């Protein structure tokens, strides 16, 4: 069994990006990311801090827009439109969740697709499903990158995804299909879940339930990717996979923390640098 080290891989990606950014700067191109956060969600604050640290490391200029909990939809859309028109800004990221009173889908649709470094705009989602050049949402992009780096075959294998969110599950279907995998997606209404997951050569858990995937759900020798990040009552961080049990059966497995998480941020940086190149 090999543990897939997302932290180490993300570090290599950031190092390469730093060199690319140096070259861009020598040509007068200064990549810049704008991050919008509405309200004061504690987890979001941590994620935003990680993004600003990564920007700093890679050499991307970073600007943060912290909006109050009672921000109106008009105010939020006004800010997005202003950032769309700002020629210094290459990427715009709206940190989710946002307050329930606001429509996040409308906000995502308002972001210029050319600056949509999170890959959530319907134009980028559509292009991904047509296998055209686009911004791919960062977690699925990071998962594919990990599989490729560890030389895990994707073509022709059976990949099973547990979870159908717009952020991970759905775009990941397209990423895997574009690499010629056979893809099955499971969710809360799937019957005989265990029977389906046991067929997976690559099993991806993205449901937000701590240690939900147990050894009896996994085929011996499978590659297991854990997207979950959950805090238990004792404060310990765990994924959606019971690492202790499943690591005994899997041939490759991602840890939590230090697996998919760092890769998500690294792929965001990749998308920002790509946006800067495209724009210039």
| Residues annotated catalytic, as ranges | 51, 95, 118
Both tokens of 228, joined, read 């979950």
Report H helices in 157-227.
169-178, 193-197
Residues 158 and 152: beta-carbon distance below 8 Å: no
Measure the CA–CA gap between 214 and 3, rounded to whole angstroms: 17
Count other C-beta atoms under 10 Å from residue 236's C-beta.
9
Measure the CA–CA gap between 83 and 91, rounded to whole angstroms: 9
Measure the CA–CA gap between 103 and 31, rounded to whole angstroms: 28
User: What is the three-class DSSP state of 226?
Assistant: strand
| Alpha-carbon separation of residue 234 from 62, 76, 152, 217 (angstroms) | 35, 37, 35, 26
| Alpha-carbon separation of residue 179 from 144, 154, 155, 170 (angstroms) | 9, 6, 6, 15
**Which string of DSSP letters, residue by residue, matches 78-128?**
HHHHHHHH-TT--EEEEPSP--TTS-HHHHHHHS-GGG-TTS-SHHHHHHH
| Alpha-carbon separation of residue 113 from 15, 32, 55, 108, 180 (angstroms) | 27, 16, 21, 9, 26
């Amino acid at each position: 069994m090999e543990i897939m080290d997302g932290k180490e891989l993300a570090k290599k990606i950031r190092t390469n990006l730093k060199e690319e950014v140096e070259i861009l700067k020598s040509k007068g191109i200064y990549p810049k990311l704008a991050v919008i956060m509405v309200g004061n969600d504690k987890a979001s604050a941590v994620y935003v801090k990680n993004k600003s640290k990564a920007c700093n490391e890679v050499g991307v200029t970073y600007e943060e827009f912290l909006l109050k909990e009672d921000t109106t939809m008009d105010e939020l859309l006004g800010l997005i439109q202003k950032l769309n028109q700002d020629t210094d800004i290459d990427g715009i990221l709206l940190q989710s969740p946002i307050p329930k009173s606001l429509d996040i889908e409308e906000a995502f649709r308002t972001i210029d697709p050319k600056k949509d470094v999170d890959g959530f705009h319907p134009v980028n989602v559509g292009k991904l499903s047509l296998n055209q050049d686009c911004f791919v949402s960062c977690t699925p992009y990071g998962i594919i990158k990990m599989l490729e780096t560890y030389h895990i075959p994707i073509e022709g294998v059976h990949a099973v995804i547990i979870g159908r969110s717009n952020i991970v599950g759905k775009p990941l279907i397209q990423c895997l299909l574009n690499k010629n995998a056979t893809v099955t997606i499971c969710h809360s209404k799937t019957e005989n879940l265990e029977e389906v997951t046991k067929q997976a050569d690559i099993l991806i858990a993205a449901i937000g339930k701590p240690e939900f995937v147990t050894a009896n759900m996994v085929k011996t020798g499978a590659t297991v990717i854990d997207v979950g990040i959950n805090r238990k009552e004792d404060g310990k961080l765990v994924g959606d996979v019971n690492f202790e049990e499943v690591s005994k059966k899997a041939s490759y497995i991602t840890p939590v923390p230090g697996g998919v998480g760092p890769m998500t941020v690294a792929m965001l940086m990749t998308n920002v640098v790509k946006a800067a190149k495209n724009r210039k």
